[in-house]
Structure 1
């Protein structure tokens, strides 16, 4: 298994370290010809095949105790991951690698941590964020918990382990992070399977991590723009503080990929086509897909020209309030205020689109132009690759998260933990497990509306 700490990059003289807790690549997969795989649409297995920049030796730490793949020797339980970072020599080496990069920073914004939730990396991530929280108090820690779209539904042990790892991971990661966001195209995190997220202009294979990770990467690139832009006054901590008030440390991600703008249409005309809800999809597995109210949100729209707020009929009086706006930023902000009148909303509009040249998969609809805008009808010839797409993405503190957190809590509560002694033999104590479940339940209550709180109390009384 591999833990990669990527080098920091300068943006407005502020720095962030990106810590990715990811599996190593297999030797066979590393010999794949990337260009041939992309062009032929073949099944790509290894993330490292697409690295165009060599990683610094200080940025890679290989966990040799566990295999990357196979039926045995896998890092499959939360306690196994936690125990890895209880070794003093491991902690010392990790701190040495962190200090190597931190010392290169003029001003450290904080850390981004990406890790799996469904396996033992959940425990590794929990200990890493705890270390960062203790040693770099006051710095932003934004954590993204990843879960594969599909899993082995026929293996009851793996399914139960997945849910228990996820519950422990969310409870621990959120407590040590400034902000925590679960990211997945999976329908739900609980025991009951649900169909994966679908997109109207993307035909992706949910069984390929190559496809699902490409979608999530495009969304993540947009979601993190507010503190990476040289023109922005915000920081990682500022973003977290605007979304996590009231104890709501968990946020949900939404994305429209691509943003469905007709070629040549103005932004007001595009938004007016969706008067009740934005055309985005939920990327945090809450089990529900409908847009409702929210407490706070950070919205980013990229790939839209600054002059696109102008009506398609210049010189005529505005036909709607959106057409009266003086900029794309004002147009988006007014639209958000109309849809979410009680929410604290921040918005950013960027001209630069999301680039989708190889090795990005070409799974787009033929209705898209080379720049990712919609056509009125399919072209006669659709051999042109989509080189870029506009993207709309948002982080929301929303009542939907009550469904995710409380539903996961209820699923784990129903399990007979005595049947899964092997999970606890890896290092998690029963008392600590129950404490984490109570933290999860308490966290879920932060997202309740009035009538939901009454229902939850009734359910608790009946348990």
Structure 2
């Protein structure tokens, strides 16, 4: 049986940044036989398999969708009905009909109406210009909001704009956890969210569960707390994987904003994890606490930590690999299986590590590369936590992408292996041996994909060659090695 479907919810501006890159990675996937099921994240637009849109609900603030407009919304083809059609016409009451009677939906992207809790996409945005895919795009200087680098079409019901709070400005900001909680207690907002959820869920053949991308540092952590509670109550038994996202924080001098950020983060972790099957914070910050720490650095990436466009791209690539176990064509697992694997003794909070890109060198096999990292691990933390400690790892899911079959071994027949890793033939066996040596006693699952994570503009061009430190051009592929425990 093929992998089931998942509904994705993006809650907040930075979640939108990560999501934009993530959907771009799906669009960059090469045609032909694939190792991952596209239908897990994408739906057939208008019933056409060749045209797909994300199965997505994105909550944004007023002014936060930027240039996203009619061109970014995929029109739905009318349903094909081959049976007889009978028409019944009823005259409206005197004084005209209400928006609901006219078939319009409050806060829907395809509606012309407005409400206190939402607005139509057409009212909130203008038609976007054609994206010029070039090296200038990858600089990130002109990228202000996530819709500036969204290169896929969305369903009309994907964008839900919250009118009570502003994306920019000093007033009317969604700053506190409690504000977000109260927002999702309003009947109109909850009803609209439920309608959109039902639309996507009802068209799924087999719903695995929900992926929640939520801003952890702002009032959207409160929104996420109520959203996950709603999902937990309404869809019992379905997986809920929540990724708490935080951009790189620079202004640490404002005490009030710093206090809000810390409280939102703490309350968000507690509430989001309680109603999720698995919760994983993801950020390139060195720390989420009051004491600032420099952002995470990668040996083969030269990124600007001040640009959400850059930092979110790294998290999106890692997220695309971390979610591999329940998107495989071989269907060896599901969202609930992944959550149960990492839920050690009921602990729902996990941490993520990634090597972006994986330090594979031409002419060197996988055992050669891993043998060089016996002490210094090849991946970096993505959860703003301390470096990985052997005694703290109870279970992990390891995914390696972009390694061909001929790169698994390097020992010649009859030759003494240079290390225990060189004695194994398959990549899974090599990873298993390496993991058991580094993390003895940890329960581990392994997945190796020959197809790499493909990147295409507007994904940033911040990768560098390992040999001469020159910038790699668009269209290159990169290996990824991700772990969570």
The two structures have a TM-score, normalised by structure 1, of 0.77
Contact kept in structure 2, 1:21 and 1:115, CA below 8 Å: no
Matched residues in 2 for 1:159 and 1:25: separation? Answer: 25
Q: 1:276 Cα shift?
A: 2.1
In the TM superposition, residue 320 of structure 1 has moved relative to its aligned partner by 2.2
- Runs of 4+ with >4 A deviation: 1-6, 12-23, 27-34, 312-315, 381-386
1:322 aligns to what?
A: 421
Is 1:338 the counterpart of 2:437 in the alignment?
yes
2:484 to 378, 389, 395: 395
Instruction: Check the 8 A contact 2:411/2:422 in 1, yes or no.
Output: no
Offset from partner CA, 1:320-375 (integer Å, 9 cap, x none): 2211212111111111111111100111111111222211111122xx2xxxxx43
Whether contact under 8 Å (2:428, 2:446) holds in the other structure is: yes
1:45 CA displacement: 1.6
Q: 1: CA distance between counterparts of 2:150 and 2:179? A: 29
Distance 1:300 1:317 in 2: 29
Structure 2: how far apart are the matches of 1:47 and 1:113? 17
Give the Cα separation in 1 of the matches to 2:275 and 2:281. 15
- Give 1:277 deviation, angstroms: 4.0
Give 1:232 deviation, angstroms: 3.5
* Structure 1 residues 359-417: Cα deviation after superposition (integer angstroms, max 9, x where no partner): 1111122xx2xxxxx43xx27x7674461111101111xxxxxxxxxxxxxxxxxxxxx
- SS in structure 2 of the partner of residue 152 of structure 1: coil
Task: Work out the CA distance in 2 between the residues paired with 1:203 and 1:271.
Answer: 23
CA RMSD of aligned residues (A): 2.7
**1:292-331 to 2 correspondences below 5 Å:** 292-293=390-391, 294-311=393-410, 313=412, 316-331=415-430
Partners of 1:123 and 1:383 in 2: CA distance: 40
Provide the residue aligned with 1:289 in structure 2: 387
1:35 is matched with 133
Q: Residue 260 of structure 1 aligns to a residue in which SS?
A: coil
Q: Which structure exhibits the higher relative contact order, with contacts defined as CA atoms closer than 8 Å and separated by 6 or more residues?
A: 2
Q: Is 1:72 matched up with 2:171?
A: yes
Q: 1:122 to 1:34 in 2, by over 3 A?
A: farther
Contact preservation (8 Å) 2:344, 2:394: no
Q: Secondary structure at the match of 1:63?
A: strand
2:153 maps to 54
Query: Which deviations, in whole Å up to 9, do the C-alpha atoms of 1:183-236 show, x marking residues without a partner?
Result: 000011111111110111111111000000000000000000010111241000
Report deviation, 1:42.
2.5
C-alpha contact (below 8 Å) 2:58/2:158 kept by paired residues: no
Corresponding residue number in structure 1 for 2:344: 245
With the length of structure 2 as denominator, give the TM-score of the two structures: 0.74
Q: Are residues 213 and 358 of structure 1, via their aligned partners in 2, closer, same or farther at CA, if it must alter by over 3 Å?
A: same
**Contact 1:266–1:312 (CA under 8 A) maintained in structure 2:** no
Number of matched pairs: 385
CA contact (8 A) 1:295 1:342 kept: yes
Instruction: Name the counterpart of 2:103.
Output: none
State how 1:12-411 maps to structure 2 within 5 Å: 19-22=57-60, 24-27=64-67, 34-35=132-133, 37-40=136-139, 42-286=141-385, 288-293=386-391, 294-311=393-410, 313=412, 316-365=415-464, 368=465, 374-375=466-467, 378=468, 384-385=473-474, 387-396=476-485
User: Per-residue deviation at 1:19?
Assistant: 4.8
Instruction: Look up the SS of the partner of 1:75 in the other structure.
Output: coil
Higher helix share: 1
- Contact persistence 2:395–2:442 (CA under 8 A): yes
1:350/1:335 CA distance change after superposition, 3 Å: same
Alpha-carbon distance, 1:92 to partner: 1.2
Distance (Å, rounded) in 1 between the aligned partners of 2:331 and 2:231: 25
CA gap 1:291/1:352 in 2 versus in 1, 3 angstroms: farther
Structure 1: tracts of 5 or more residues without a match: 369-373, 397-463
Contact 2:313–2:459 (Cα < 8 Å) also in 1: yes
Distance in 2 (alpha carbons) for counterparts of 1:81 and 1:343: 38
